[in-house]
Amino acid sequence: MSNAKRALQTEDLTKIEVFSDPQLSPDGNFYSYVSTKANDKDDYNSQLFVQSLNGDTPVQWTFGDVKNSNLRYSPDGKKAVFQSTRSGLPQLWLLPTEGGEARQLTTFKNGASNPTWSKDGKFIFFHASLDKDDDIQNQKEASKEERQKEQEDKKKQPLIVNRLKYKSDSSGFHDNKRVQLISLNLESNTFTQLTNNDADHGFQDVSPDGKQVLFAANLNENADYELSNDLFLLDLQSKEYKKLTDGNGGYHSASFSPSGDKVVSFGDEYEYAGATLTEIYVFDLASGERTCLSKSWDMQLGDLMIGDTRMGQSETGPVWSKDESSLFFIATDYGATGLYKVSLNKELTTLYKEDNHVFGFSYDQDKEAFVLGISSATNPCDFYYLKNDGTLTKLTKSNDAFLNEVAIAEPETLSVKAEDGKEIQGWLLKPYGFTEGKKYPFVLEIHGGPHAMYGQTFFFEMQLLAAKGYVVLYTNPRGSHGYGQEFVDACRSDYGGGDYKDLMTAVDYVLENYSFIDEDRLGVTGGSYGGFMTNWIVGHTNRFKAAVTQRSISNWLSFYGVSDIGFFFNKWEHGLNLLDDPAKLWEISPLRYAENVETPLLILHGELDFRCPVEQGEQLFITLKHLRKEVEFVRFPGANHELSRSGKPAMRQERLNHICRWFEEYL
């Protein structure tokens, strides 16, 4: 590694530009995208850009300290609808693509989101959160002052809870509002509420003839106790529903074929609970027959790559070809994601896969070409044009100035054989200014999930630790996606068993094969499930001299009742609920082994984390402190489970500074 470039610093987090949501124009001559970057108000701005496919410099379409996203072109390409917070809440705006000012389309009290055009360009369909008796023709967005007053008034009232699913990490405490589907007639400027069930509805697609809408929801009487998500066809004239699925699984990312005769969807039937591989299903609307195209692949569909510099949503498929003979999608496989094609006769073709992270795509049906969003271990993101002959052309230079200034470590890919013969993939980063013959401290990073994947994507936290002088190891132990159904299922009912051994085997491997690692200065850190594993590790071995546990789990008994997913997660991952076998849940809780902890432990936790609530960190801290162990607890106000990925920029930097401080002190 050349030292001509400077070392990465925590403050560099705010300099990175993050791309998402590429959208090709109907004529295929240019595309739009979303660029997100931290601003000077401790928040993020998201702006819309458009670029010609001849490689010209991208042109910025939106400005200001606001979030703009979800741009969708009209079928004729003359207009585009997008989502913006410029009025306060996310609302829909209409923009002439040849120039001119954007016009506000919605003023819904709780905002409007996720717009989609009808194929004739006369209607826009979208989501809106509504109370049961809301009049959609007379919606008025509350002012900032009115919203603040409403929030203050809420704080003065007790929260009445009568649902099992009464909170979520992304939304906080739920109210009685439900996400409904709305259509806007652009000619008459009138709104029509398409759904009114006591359920959240996820718009999927509108049929080519404009007569049906496809949506996902759970409309069962016992929906509060279920995790299924069915697909429904809504006839726009009769308002009658037709259920396409059988209530035994979860379905999403569905769309009509170009003829309207078929529907494709991602989904699974929870055969392995939360570790079940996603499949591609095609529904024949005339016969009602459902066909699974992917049953024999043993590959996870969609993008399951973990990173800390991805913001915004992007298409991962499945997307129809123009002649509806094939489908395109992203899949997660062996530390990377790629773009794939499958024909309706189940023939699978890899269109693009390298050692990197394809995080989104847009498909040109006429030219059979793609715009790909790609991140790598040494580049946060850029867009590329993939022609049907396989030619790949780089379109953007998003972070070139940053990358030309800062040294970024290139990972070395490892393959380690576990005790039972399983192959464990991992990556090793050398420290900034690496010198042969010198010994360096070491940090093991453990991902969350556990059913997710580390891999060939840009990870700021890893790079920062390498810049601070640490050798960094990150691996995919059993339970991770990317290595088939058996592998991802292998940690269920065995937390702290084979997964723990995989991690320790990987550490043993690098100590034996890389002489520049100082075996007396080993550190470990991880978040969520990775936080659980960090807690487990320090309770079962003293080989690490410092540990940082982030948004962790320490006690499965209390987790069952306090997490937004605890009531089903324990059953899914451990095979039992709280009352089934409390002794077993206590046996696999890191808190039980607190007396064994000799490793100095830093506990980082967001105070509004509803996924792994802060009481999990509190229990661990109080127990260790009471035992006079070396422990410190850092609480992040206003932060939820997504602190490291999409939290406030200042809080994200503070978190990184605490991690570096702790390892510097003890390693």
- Which positions are annotated as active-site residues? 528, 641
Residue 306 tokens, joined: 């973990």
Q: Which residues contact 9 (CB under 8 A, 6 or more apart)?
A: 464, 467
Give 232-238's long-range contacts (Cβ < 8 A, gap of 24+): 233/285, 234/181, 234/194, 234/195, 235/211, 236/183, 236/194, 236/210, 236/211, 236/212, 237/211
Residue 220 tokens, joined: 């069962």
Residue with tokens 């392995």: 272
Strand 546-550, strand 517-527: pairing: parallel
- Residue 415 and residue 513 in contact, taking contact as beta carbons nearer than 8 Å: no
What is the Cα–Cα distance from 293 to 616, expressed in whole angstroms?
A: 42
Handedness of CA 391, 396, 398, 399 (dihedral sign): positive
Residue 156 tokens, joined: 């003065």
Q: Spell out the alpha helix ranges (H) of 406-555.
A: 460-467, 485-489, 498-513, 529-540
Residue 574 tokens, joined: 């451990």
- Nearest to 20, CA basis, from 305, 314, 306: 314
Residue with tokens 């931290």: 38
Q: Spell out the alpha helix ranges (H) of 87-157.
A: 144-155
Residue 288 tokens, joined: 């009602």
Q: Which residues contact 455 (CB under 8 A, 6 or more apart)?
A: 305, 306, 335, 336, 337, 357, 427, 476, 482
- 475 pairs with which residues across the strands? 426
Q: Which residues contact 230 (CB under 8 A, 6 or more apart)?
A: 216, 217, 218, 219, 243, 244, 245, 246, 247, 251
Q: Report the amino acid identity of residue 96.
A: P
Q: Which H or E run contains 619?
A: helix 614-626
- Nearest to 476, CA basis, from 496, 446, 441: 446
CA dihedral 225, 230, 233, 236 (to 10 degrees): 40
DSSP assignment of 641-654:
TTHHHHS-HHHHHH
